[in-house]
Amino acid sequence: MSPLPEAELVRSSVQLYRYLLRCCRRLPQGRIQQHYRHAIRQSFKVHADEDDPERIQQIIKRAIEDADWVMNK
């Protein structure tokens, strides 16, 4: 499974959140999907107070790479 084509358009944390949830919909139904949706929500909450634009871009890049890895797993 490849990542969604909108990956290169993700610029903000809200766009990343929506992108990752859309990726989750492509995973098998059940526990796997629930696990990753929960992990996405938790990570979003953990990084909600981040205000350094450079750090936010690092987080976005890493999250997209991780989503790509999960989708290909």
Q: Give residue 3's pLDDT.
A: 57
**36 part of a folded domain:** yes
Range of the domain at 47: 7-72
**12 part of a folded domain:** yes
**29 part of a folded domain:** yes
What is the Rg, in whole angstroms, of the alpha carbon atoms belonging to the chain? 12
**2 part of a folded domain:** no
Q: Structurally, how many domains does the chain consist of?
A: 1
Q: Which of 36, 40, 32 is nearest to 13 (CA)?
A: 40
**17 part of a folded domain:** yes
SS (H, E, C) the chain: CCCCHHHHHCCCHHHHHHHHHHHHHCCCCCHHHHHHHHHHHHHHHHCCCCCCHHHHHHHHHHHHHHHHHHHHC
pLDDT band of residue 7 (cuts 50, 70, 90) is: confident
Q: Give residue 37's pLDDT.
A: 95
Record the pTM: 0.81
**68 part of a folded domain:** yes
Q: Give residue 2's pLDDT.
A: 46
**20 part of a folded domain:** yes
